[in-house]
Structure 1
Amino acid sequence: MNGIANECQVGMKWRIKEDYLKKNVRICSEKFTASSIPGVKYFLSLNWDEYNHDELKICLNLEFKFTKRIQASIDIYVKAFHEKHFPGDYCYHNSGGGWTRTIDTRNYIFNPQERYFVDGIVEIEFDGTLESHGIKRKASQSCKTLGNAYWKRNDKDLTMIVEKQRLKIHKWVICDKSSVFKAEMESGLKESVENVINITDFSFEIVKMALMFCYEQNITESFIKENASELIRFADKYDIKSSHEYIQHVLIKTLSEVNVVEFANISITYNAEELCEYCICFLTNAIKKKIIINDAKKISAEITNEICQRSILSTSN
């Protein structure tokens, strides 16, 4: 997967009312999403300094889940009568506030002769570049040896019937992995008494692969594009988070111009947030580079709307 950009232009215009600044509380702009780096959001904040209450501070805040660190190049302009420019660079290792500058003191900001406000509003413009470094990725399928041992044991106490075939599993394993199956086993209904679950809307192959994953078996060799949709549907329906995350990671690694539309639509249907982010960023980058995408007309409206929204200059009031 080489269609994801690691650099992204960001920016916004922020209009703040004079009355809000006089309230002496932290003020935040609207939160915006970076167009081509997965899982990155940014916003500006204003607050009076904790120690010197007469100084107004501006801060660039970042939120990111899939990237280890982000290098930010920043230009902020306060559109007062005497325009103020605050350039800077900052490396974010964690989500939250980072780059901060003092705009001015209270006496100057609220002095009518300084003309900070026009019709009771001050405008701040932000332009910047974010550069991502490294990918955060949870280790998957650990403790395979222990999983193998339990998968081969004969003391399984729960039966799943799929396409008239039986699959045996330990009740505690499936209850640990799936909140849906756990609720079913604790319901007191027929399934929980007889320890038998009938599954009618998935194939035997899909259910077996999903259960193997619950025992931390390596299913990568059996994992193909044709069953990816069904596997993630199973994980979504039965709330098997580890499987849901793992399938997303496999699909992300194989993203290409050929499959990105299919994977993007899958991500919307089955609540695959990380896969969705990567697909949106892949498509955004493809548009910039004029790369032809297979089945582009089939992209869901939710995906296209998000791409358009991220591509428009942001204004926060």
Structure 2
Amino acid sequence: MIEVPFALEWIVPENHLISLKDSVNGYLCSSWITNISGIKYGLSICPYRDIDEHRGKALVALHLDFVNVKKIEAECTFKIDSANCSKKLPIVYEKSFGWGTFIDETKSFFDPEKKYFVDGNCTLKVNGILKYETNDSEVTVELQKWEGNELGDRLWEKDDYKDFTISVDRKNIKVHKNVLAVQSTVFHAMFESKMKKSVKNKVEIKDFSFDIVEKALKLIYNCNFITTLSTQDMMKLLQFFDKYNFQSLKNKIEQLLIAKISTSTVCRITNSSIITNSTKLKNECMKFLVISFLSKTTLRDIEILDKNACMEVLQNMVYQSVTIQ
């Protein structure tokens, strides 16, 4: 399913709405935005709605006009910051139409004390995610094929001579100390002779799921296998390989995540790159963020973007590129 973030701001003059205050179901429409292939979207505001229990209320709506799309699932937040008004709701569009939410009684909407209007304008902000599939697209699952070797497969499959146990989610995975120690300085230090007395032949991992740990270990053993890793799975693997210092595998996952950078993922991947000290991944994210900020491209999860990263993006935006003369 395709996921596209969006954000709209509409400054509506009060004098354009006053004439509609006493008009039953009269409304004002914004211009259309057409930066998503096959989809146009815009806003409307109705100062006085006359429908059942919502009679006498002001309505704001998100309108979608689309072709070659089965349906659109929207997660929307409607906000008028000056009035401290925020409404979040899911909407399913089976066809081109407008859906929205009631923000207040019409009388209150025009009440100066409510502050829906500031300096004669109402500033409506709408942001969220559009999720959809096109009519000619097929549901596909992305596969990752890991090219390992026969020795890795045999070592993984046979429990003979395995001398260490990793416990995750009350399940045990037997492994070879040597396989871990030669690739990880963390495990190497754990198994050092001077520490043997304090280290049992078992360790419990609490901060990663069994599925993530099992996949990580198969990669450590260099097995031949296929995965269907999501972006979230990849970020978890990156954290695992960073925590236990499997540098070569961390580099592999970094490359996979670089290919995953998009408007829907860049904020979460940026945060992950910072947590895991993944410099190359962070640099690619920062490049994408600068371009997005300059072009006013909407980014999903922008509110959770690391504050220092956000400041760095703003600082990078002021630089002018020069070349050799």
The alignment's TM-score, normalised by the length of structure 2, stands at 0.49
Provide the residue aligned with 1:164 in structure 2.
Answer: 170
> Is the Cα–Cα contact under 8 Å of residues 261 and 298 in structure 1 kept in the other structure?
yes
2:291 pairs with one of 274, 281, 285 = 285
Task: Compute the displacement of 1:274 (Å).
Answer: 1.3
Aligned sequence identity (%): 32
Residues in 1 aligned to 2:156 and 2:167: alpha-carbon distance in whole angstroms: 17
Task: Compute the displacement of 1:251 (Å).
Answer: 1.1
Task: Compute the displacement of 1:253 (Å).
Answer: 0.9
Provide the residue aligned with 1:148 in structure 2.
Answer: 153
Residues in 2 aligned to 1:191 and 1:270: alpha-carbon distance in whole angstroms: 31
> Is the Cα–Cα contact under 8 Å of residues 251 and 275 in structure 1 kept in the other structure?
yes
Verify: 1:212 aligned to 2:234, yes or no.
no
1:312 pairs with one of 310, 318, 323 = 318
The alignment's TM-score, normalised by the length of structure 1, stands at 0.50
Task: Compute the displacement of 1:273 (Å).
Answer: 1.2
Residues in 1 aligned to 2:205 and 2:197: alpha-carbon distance in whole angstroms: 11
Aligned residues: 176
Gaps of 5+ in 1: 1-139
> Is the Cα–Cα contact under 8 Å of residues 190 and 199 in structure 2 kept in the other structure?
no
Q: Structure 2 matches for 1:39-118, cutoff 5 A?
A: none
1:199 pairs with one of 205, 208, 211 = 205
The code of the aligned residue for 1:154 comes to D
2:183 pairs with one of 156, 177, 180 = 177
Match of 2:300, SS? coil
Structure 1 segments, 4+ long, off by >3 Å, are: 140-143, 187-194
> Is the Cα–Cα contact under 8 Å of residues 294 and 317 in structure 2 kept in the other structure?
no
Residues in 1 aligned to 2:240 and 2:150: alpha-carbon distance in whole angstroms: 25
Provide the residue aligned with 2:245 in structure 1.
Answer: 239
Q: 1:289 to 1:219 in 2, by over 3 A?
A: farther
Q: Structure 2 matches for 1:117-128, cutoff 5 A?
A: none
CA distances 1:137-186 after superposition (whole Å, capped 9, x unpaired): xxx96653332222223322221122221111111110011110110011
Q: 1:143 to 1:219 in 2, by over 3 A?
A: closer
Residues in 1 aligned to 2:252 and 2:179: alpha-carbon distance in whole angstroms: 17
Task: Find the structure with the greater CA-based Rg.
Answer: 2
Q: 1:218 to 1:271 in 2, by over 3 A?
A: farther
> Is the Cα–Cα contact under 8 Å of residues 180 and 220 in structure 2 kept in the other structure?
yes
Residues in 1 aligned to 2:253 and 2:206: alpha-carbon distance in whole angstroms: 22
> Is the Cα–Cα contact under 8 Å of residues 147 and 216 in structure 1 kept in the other structure?
yes
Provide the residue aligned with 1:271 in structure 2.
Answer: 277
Aligned-residue RMSD, C-alpha: 2.6
Q: 1:302 to 1:223 in 2, by over 3 A?
A: same
Higher relative contact order (CA 8 A, sep 6+): 1
> Is the Cα–Cα contact under 8 Å of residues 228 and 247 in structure 1 kept in the other structure?
yes
Match of 2:309, SS? helix
CA distances 1:72-125 after superposition (whole Å, capped 9, x unpaired): xxxxxxxxxxxxxxxxxxxxxxxxxxxxxxxxxxxxxxxxxxxxxxxxxxxxxx
Residues in 2 aligned to 1:306 and 1:194: alpha-carbon distance in whole angstroms: 45
Provide the residue aligned with 1:70 in structure 2.
Answer: none
Provide the residue aligned with 2:61 in structure 1.
Answer: none
Provide the residue aligned with 2:80 in structure 1.
Answer: none
> Is the Cα–Cα contact under 8 Å of residues 185 and 191 in structure 1 kept in the other structure?
no
